Structure 1
Amino acid sequence: MNNSIRAFAIGILFATGVTGCAYAFEGSKEVVIEEGQVLSYAEENSLVVLSKEEYDQLLPQLDDLKDETTAKESTEPEEDKSVEEEVTKEEKIEEEEKEEPKEEKKEEPKTYTLTIREGMLLHEATKELENAGIIDNAFSFNQYLEKNDKSKLVQIGTFELTTGLSYREVTAIITKNR
């Protein structure tokens, strides 16, 4: 028993020594990324690149906006209700606008099967819907889900969606009416 423990310990020490030597002789390989590569990556992925100075200039503005938002939320709860009413009115207007072109075009709606997998991000699913023509803008649909507290209710599964659905109808389908 004692010999087997001693042999195990020697094996661990030997493996550690070999790994340490390999790591020491390998050295660190620094990857040099050029500014052009960063800019092209940002452009391909619709990202914005800011210099440190620009970023530092925007931070105080962000803090001011956060302060204004919290001040408005705490002092004017009635205004929130009116904002919600405005959003509801805007949604109704959008739905009416969407219904009018349907009557004019009289095209058959296209069906799209959306599969939401475990671990899939919300913006990935909404981007698929935008690419399929189910929704016009993935970003605005994400905002709609956030405003209506539905973003965390999106369910895993396969959903049949057709073109011409309103945000509310799409939300009801992908949240399974939760």
Structure 2
Amino acid sequence: MNKRNTRAFAFGILIAVIAFGTAYFLNKPEHTENRTIDENSAKKFLQAHGYTVLTNEEYTLLQQKDAKDQNENKEVKEEPAEKNTEQEEESQKVYQLTIESGMTPGEIASLLEKSSVIDQAADFGYYLEEYGYSKKIQLGTFELTHNMSYKEIAKIITKS
């Protein structure tokens, strides 16, 4: 670049700064910084955007009512707990999964689906691929139950 090009470039930058500066200082903001927000306008604004506004007293009463409901639910849940122990023992049936050399993640997933450990073999196979477990599967026999999550099953069969 020669002097003339450099000066023309600098002059262009100067003109751009002047134009942006003028626009910045001459435009007045719609909201003034000294504007005060009263309680009613804030409440209306929040309600218009889908929020529920409570006073401190209403919030405290709501918390007390919620705590009372939870205590009642705990008392109710304690009684049938004795009846559910037999059901839980039945639902905790353990499935022995044996992974042999050459088995693919899809075959493993279909075995788990047939034994009702998982609901969808395709979803489990996708999970193994997505999170990188499919390349870490170990050979051996593993104990699994039907109420395990995909993550728990994957960690067991990859021993990670």
Q: What is the TM-score of this pair, normalised by structure 1? A: 0.39
Higher helix residue share: 1
Q: What is the TM-score of this pair, normalised by structure 2? A: 0.44
Larger Rg, first or second structure (1 or 2): 2
